[in-house]
Amino acid sequence: MTRKFHRLRRACGMVLLLVLIGLPYLRIHGESALRFDIPSLRLLFFGTSIWMADFFIILIAVIFLAFFTLFATTLFGRIWCGWLCPQTVLVDATMFIETAPAKAYSSVIASWIAGFLASAVVAASLIGYFVSPYDIPRTFRTGGLQAQIVAVSFIVLVVLVFLDLIFLRRRFCATVCPYAKMQGVLFDDRTLVVAYDRERADECMRCGACAKVCPVNVDIRTGPHMACIHCAECVDACTERTAATGRRSLVNYTLGLAALRRTGIRTNLLITGTLTVVSLAFLVYLAASRMPFDVNVQLDYTKAPTIEVGGVTRSYVLLLRNVGTTGLVLDLSAAAASGEVGVIPDTITLPKSGTVVKMPISITVAYAQAHAQAPVPVTLTVRSKQRNKSAARTIYFMMPQNK
């Protein structure tokens, strides 16, 4: 198959473009699949809601991504730039902007209009990662500061994306992108690169096809270049030319340059790989052990204790917040070191609102003369039936003095 890498890269780019644009419109449990909700300061992540109090999980996720980036870059080079980067995907999807100048003046105007529409679609999707697309119409109907912020953000994003697609394009990779600058430091003698086989230089037909198809205007025959994004367009071009003579391409993906390749353990890869695995394991542990709700207990001072035969009842306020994206059914139980303890109600349904919900409860402790002058430690346990997670809070039940 001719232009193998070109076809694979375009297919991969189309999938990524659909994900980039469509993800804000995907909903799980009635919430966005991926969105940082600014009003509530929480991250919605594929059915999970991470609040500001749990943002240490995000910190660990960032650390994992940092180590993974170092590891992947050392191993696979600029595979991100050529195949997965949103900038590359957007530029590939708008190649009509580059080909239009060779045609009529009207084609240039049409390409700019199409580029502007594409910028508007991308900007709307980017806004959707912070404000639910389904809430934007209501936001504009009600007006106010939030509507103004959304409108201004949309206009700014449209302008920036449009200028990028029209004027910057591939030059972004070679001049602006900080990741491109960092990659040269991370490469070693066995990093995956696109390289020209100098040992077979006498087989080169000097057709210049590899240089003509390069999107960043690099001649791979002159050696490695910082601007090269390893898109393999030159590999396809050389493969097409050499296939007619029955030879293999002079340009290919290769693990480092043959003249510089060495053997032995790659210490940098071992270190970054180990740190990646450790940080991922820690992230998975934190996510798995995370409580789906917050709980606190306060004494209701407005209500006096009730003394009954064999026990004392006090009123409390249970403060609950559902930090997930679905409603929860919670079981309540109470226990003390000695004697019977009861709690009413013993089951609570907690909505997915995310706000703090106040639930009145009453706790009854069996009356004992020995405890008349001392508080009784009572452990209140709240358990989620769906998640099989429980949280315990200790309160000190004040027994009325014996008169």
User: How many distinct structural domains can be found in the chain?
Assistant: 3
Residues 193 and 130 in one domain: no
* In-domain check, residue 91: yes
The winner for highest mean pLDDT among 38-52, 73-87, 120-134 is 120-134
Residues 88 and 141 in one domain: yes
Residues 226 and 311 in one domain: no
DSSP 56-98: HHHHHHHHHHHHHHHHHHHHHTTHIIIII-HHHHHHHHTTHHH
Least confident of 49-58, 147-156, 202-211: 49-58
Least confident of 93-102, 137-146, 339-348: 93-102
Nearest-angstrom CA–CA distance, 123 and 21: 9
Q: What pLDDT was estimated at residue 152?
A: 94
The mean per-residue pLDDT over the stretch 274-301 comes to 89
pLDDT value at 156 more than 90: yes
Nearest-angstrom CA–CA distance, 374 and 402: 11
Closest CA to 235 of 189, 196, 184, 200: 196
Residues 89 and 15 in one domain: yes
Residues 160 and 211 in one domain: no
> Is residue 259 classed as helix, strand or coil in its secondary structure?
coil
Q: What pLDDT was estimated at residue 326?
A: 80
Nearest-angstrom CA–CA distance, 169 and 280: 34
Nearest-angstrom CA–CA distance, 403 and 398: 15
Number of residues in the chain: 403
Q: What pLDDT was estimated at residue 108?
A: 87
Q: What pLDDT was estimated at residue 155?
A: 95
* In-domain check, residue 246: yes
The predicted-structure confidence for 98-113, as pLDDT tens digits, reads as follows 887 767 788 888 999 9
Q: What is the mean pLDDT of the chain?
A: 86
pLDDT value at 403 more than 70: no
Residue range(s) defining the domain that contains residue 104: 4-54+78-184
Which tokens go with 104?
């009529």
Q: What pLDDT was estimated at residue 401?
A: 66
* In-domain check, residue 249: yes
Q: DSSP assignment, residue 147?
A: H
Residues 174 and 240 in one domain: no
pLDDT value at 34 more than 70: yes
Higher-pLDDT residue of 54 and 298 is 298
Strand partners, 312: 307, 365
Higher-pLDDT residue of 119 and 56 is 119
Nearest-angstrom CA–CA distance, 343 and 262: 70
Least confident of 51-65, 153-167, 176-190, 328-342: 176-190
**Domain end marker among 184, 216, 231:** 184
The predicted-structure confidence for 334-363, as pLDDT tens digits, reads as follows 988 777 888 999 898 888 777 788 989 999
Q: What pLDDT was estimated at residue 370?
A: 43
The mean per-residue pLDDT over the stretch 32-47 comes to 84
Cβ pair 76, 192 in contact under 8 A: yes
The predicted-structure confidence for 252-261, as pLDDT tens digits, reads as follows 998 877 656 6
- Band (pLDDT 50/70/90 cuts) for residue 369 is very low
- Band (pLDDT 50/70/90 cuts) for residue 264 is low
> Is residue 318 classed as helix, strand or coil in its secondary structure?
strand
Give the percent of the chain with pLDDT over 70. 94
* In-domain check, residue 61: no
Strand partners, 194: 253
Nearest-angstrom CA–CA distance, 137 and 141: 6
Residues 20 and 168 in one domain: yes
**Domain end marker among 184, 219, 236:** 184
The mean per-residue pLDDT over the stretch 4-32 comes to 90
pLDDT value at 11 more than 60: yes
The mean per-residue pLDDT over the stretch 215-221 comes to 88
Cβ pair 114, 161 in contact under 8 A: no
> Is residue 287 classed as helix, strand or coil in its secondary structure?
helix
pLDDT value at 33 more than 80: yes
Nearest-angstrom CA–CA distance, 53 and 42: 9
**345: cis peptide before it, omega within 30°?**
yes
The pTM of the full predicted model, rounded to 2 decimals, is 0.75
